Structure 1
């Protein structure tokens, strides 16, 4: 039996970027890309965002969704956002990628950036074989009515 929860956690850990979807004050859904900084076994996913930006404002204590992918695997994680004003955690997550998107003299100690943690609650995933195997499966499906191999599932985090 497949452990869907661990499958999702492993996929999220391999994903470098996520699309964070929030609702604006007017109720419109909007997505933006974020760099995944850390993923815990409990399903918490950490990001660094501008403290005065829309992502921080719209995600804090709100329902959010993350879209993630790696190779031919995809996940949609629903959860609750939380803004952390935790300089120690920010310093732990801060790296060359964060620095590249920051002002030259900006550091974890003198930034308006904050940590956004999404507490994953439920997830759905889709897992297809590698691209060569998928190509063979598609061809076989066209010739034999046999569907290409894939896996999907839903789980609580």
Structure 2
């Protein structure tokens, strides 16, 4: 694994929630928050969705997605572009399943609801084609000083280096 890709995974795991942008069938873009799931084979990044949701319809029409992560405390960010696929593979769903998924899949009378056997669960796997991210290479007080200095002088703050990963 490329060192940059390892860094990307570390940052994404720490930030956890991405704004996933898809293109709707009418051509407009739409973003929504999505929790990144643990890593598993079959895709670089995994997300869970409900069958028939807007995001799954968008991906079926155009699989290109962008994932934007931002960590407010440190101002670190990650932008990932890739190709999404929908998976209904029960084995992968069981492997990735987390108990907190059940809150998004309300009990509607079927004993499978909220479990890994819930037929409404669909995985979104994203294969990363390119990513860029800000790697902070200075202690937090120095970053804050650089930001304030930038406000005062009008110069661009030197807070870190933008890394790029091409797959």
Segments ≥4 residues shifted beyond 6 Å: none
Q: TM-score, normalised by structure 2?
A: 0.79
Asked whether 1:85 is paired with 2:88, we answer yes
Q: Given that residues 43 and 125 in structure 2 are in contact (C-alpha distance below 8 angstroms), is that contact kept between their aligned partners in structure 1?
A: no
Q: Is the CA contact (8 Å cut-off) linking 1:81 and 1:118 kept in structure 2?
A: yes
Unaligned runs of 5+ in 1: none
Change in Cα spacing, 1:131 to 1:102, as seen in structure 2 (3 Å) is farther
Distance 1:146-1:55 versus aligned 2 partners, 3 A rule: closer
Q: Does the CA contact (< 8 Å) of 1:72 and 1:127 recur in 2?
A: no
Deviations 1:124-151 (A, max 9, x none): 11233554332122345547x6843311
TM-score in terms of structure 1 length = 0.83
1:74 aligns with 2:50: no
Is the aligned partner of 1:133 residue 2:152?
A: no
Q: Pairwise mapping of residues 6-155 of structure 1 onto structure 2 (< 5 A)?
A: 6-39=6-39, 44-60=44-60, 62-70=63-71, 71-104=74-107, 105=111, 106=113, 107-128=115-136, 129=138, 131-140=140-149, 142=152, 147-155=157-165
Mark the CA change 1:50 to 1:154 in structure 2 (over 3 Å): closer, same or farther. same
* Cα deviation digits, residues 45-80 of structure 1 (max 9, x gap): 001101111111212461111111344321110000
Is contact 2:135-2:163 (8 Å) kept? no
Aligned residues: 156
Question: What root-mean-square deviation, in Å, do the aligned CA atoms of Structure 1 and Structure 2 show?
Answer: 2.7
Q: Please tell me whether the aligned partners of residues 16 and 36 of structure 1 are also in contact (alpha carbons under 8 angstroms).
A: yes
